[in-house]
Amino acid sequence: MHEIIAILEDNPGRIQAMEKRLKESFPDCSAIFFNNAPDMIAWLKGHLHECLLLSLDHDLGPSWERIGQLFDPGIGRDVVDYLITQLPQCPIILHTSNSDAEIGMEMALKEANWHCERVIPSPSLDAMDSWDWIDSDWADTLKRLIQSRGKNSPNSIEARILDQPEQRAPHTAPASRMIIVLDDNPESEQLISDRLGEVFPGWSAGFFKNSIELMAWISRNTPQFNRLSRAKYIVILENKKQRIDRMRHHLGQMFPDESLVFFDNAPEIVSWLKIHLQKCLLISLEHNLGPNWTGYEKAFDPGNGREVVDYLATQTPQCPLIFHTSNKEAEIGMEMGLIESHWIFERVMTSKDLKWIEKTWLPLVNLLLKPISHTQLSESDIPSTHARWELFNHFALTFNGYKSWESVEECVEIGDRCAKDYQRKHILPQSFQELRTALLIARNRWRRCNMEPDDEGMSYIQAIAQRLRDKVRAQHQE
């Protein structure tokens, strides 16, 4: 519940007058005062969502001694500079007599969609240090903003929407790829929605009739926005709506805490990856994206999956890749594009009936995103000595070696060393981590060549599997 009024003020007389007025006019609200910007910013980072209103002075005086050291209290603009990086949460009063500084604070806040109003600390005719303005202008503005917020609270808005069930409620859940539309014309919504669906398939859209509804929605969903900013991404290049809908449905159930990002063309996903690649959990790529289509009044070439591969080949591996396509020749070409890299990839052949999504694609996604820890390994997880290569191939993917060693280079180096030790002396490592690293790197080497291991290679892989089974058996006996 929002019930804290946070105030930046360093004048003891003003603080006393404000405390008195707040106790009289808003006895149910808590008030917290700060006499410097750094402390207020630190507090807001954990409590901004609890604030009913903020009131900020600008000038906070010169530096002063604090814990034996000189301390700079900063200025109100420092707090504003932090607030404009956050979603608007509550109204703000700027109570400062520094008109030049106030204008800068106000412009910055309004550009970031914060609602703010100014109160000028005007002295009375009787005394220059009078706080009459606190009991009049400041208290009146405070009361009006709080009452206005109450009338336009999320609960009030929801009640009005429920009273009008024929209207579409703008309660779309925040998504990582979302378009917000502010338009009070009921006829516009369907037209805009249809067009957005054509131009941006797979994107979410939120429609709002007025700014009050939009700000209330943002306020309610602030935790979700913060979660999205920290979330990891499952990224998919796909242009067919039925596939996108089916993938989104299953992934939303399997990985509710991760963000799903869909692209229908290569140029856009490459641009996005240049910024967000390090936050990707998995990337799944189709090759064929259809013919040119019209976008922004111009012919647009959606490209193909190989263009994304060509970009990824220049980057350090960050996550596993899946190539899901019915174009076998193109898929092999995508794999060949990564033959000189250390990207981990696997293929899924698609079909028209969409059963491949549940049958092969989803199990592979689950395998790659839910690794099995050493302590959770059971003998049944490890393929038997005479198992098919496919089972060894998939079992190797249950270990995230790059993350385990916190370095692609170190993981590869250890895997190569293990292979040489076995080739020269038939020596295998003792730890789970090194054994599974050896298996992963061996798997990657054969997979990049699009070949099954030869007799020597399979003998090495089978020996690793046997050593792992022995260690698991001994671990369970303990």
| pLDDT tens-digit series, residues 224-237 | 666 555 668 999 99
Residue 99, in any domain of the structure: yes
Are 67 and 204 in a shared domain?
A: no
CB 269 within 8 A of CB 237: yes
* Short-list 90, 343, 105, CA closest to 222: 90
Residue 219, in any domain of the structure: yes
Are 135 and 216 in a shared domain?
A: no
Going by pLDDT thresholds of 50, 70 and 90, the confidence category of residue 162 is very low
The number of domains in the chain is: 3
Are 121 and 39 in a shared domain?
A: yes
Q: Is the pLDDT of residue 125 over 60?
A: no
Whole-angstrom CA distances from 63 to 1, 40, 69, 88, 399 are: 36, 16, 10, 30, 54
State the chain's mean pLDDT as an integer: 85
The mean pLDDT value for 23-45 works out to 91
Whole-angstrom CA distances from 142 to 146, 147, 149, 219, 253 are: 6, 9, 11, 19, 45
pLDDT at 160: 34
Residue 254, in any domain of the structure: no
The mean pLDDT value for 199-207 works out to 70
Residue 270, in any domain of the structure: no
**Is the Cα torsion angle 239, 362, 328, 285 positive or negative in sign?**
positive
For residue 55, list its beta bridge partners: 7, 93
Tokens linked to 27: 């006895």
The values of phi and psi at residue 321, to 5°, are -120, 145
368, containing H or E segment = helix 362-369
The mean pLDDT value for 397-420 works out to 94
Residue 164, in any domain of the structure: yes
pLDDT at 84: 87
User: Who wins on pLDDT, 88 or 164?
Assistant: 88
Domain stops at, among 91, 125, 151? 151
Domain that holds residue 208: 158-223
Are 179 and 60 in a shared domain?
A: no
pLDDT at 176: 59
Q: Is the pLDDT of residue 164 over 50?
A: no
Are 41 and 132 in a shared domain?
A: yes
Residue 337, in any domain of the structure: no
Are 169 and 138 in a shared domain?
A: no
Tokens linked to 206: 């939120």
Alpha carbons within 13 A on the beta-carbon side of 57:
22
pLDDT at 398: 94
Domain with 43 in it: what CATH number? Answer: 3.40.50.2300
Amino acid at 37: A
Domain stops at, among 179, 205, 223? 223
For residue 295, list its beta bridge partners: 298
Are 146 and 175 in a shared domain?
A: no
pLDDT at 26: 86
Going by pLDDT thresholds of 50, 70 and 90, the confidence category of residue 346 is very high
Residue 381, in any domain of the structure: yes
The mean pLDDT value for 470-475 works out to 90
d(CA 373, CA 370): 9
The values of phi and psi at residue 38, to 5°, are -55, -45
The values of phi and psi at residue 70, to 5°, are -75, 130
Q: Is the pLDDT of residue 279 over 70?
A: yes
Q: Is the pLDDT of residue 266 over 90?
A: yes
CA dihedral 107, 108, 109, 113 (to 10 degrees): 90
Are 35 and 122 in a shared domain?
A: yes
Are 137 and 15 in a shared domain?
A: yes
Q: Each residue of 64-116: pLDDT tens digit?
A: 888 888 999 999 999 999 998 888 889 999 999 888 888 889 888 887 888 89
Are 119 and 25 in a shared domain?
A: yes
pLDDT at 127: 43
Integer-rounded Cα radius of gyration of the chain: 30
List, in order, residues 6 or more apart from 127 with CB less than 8 Å away. Answer: none
Are 386 and 450 in a shared domain?
A: yes
Are 147 and 175 in a shared domain?
A: no
> How long, in residues, is the chain?
478
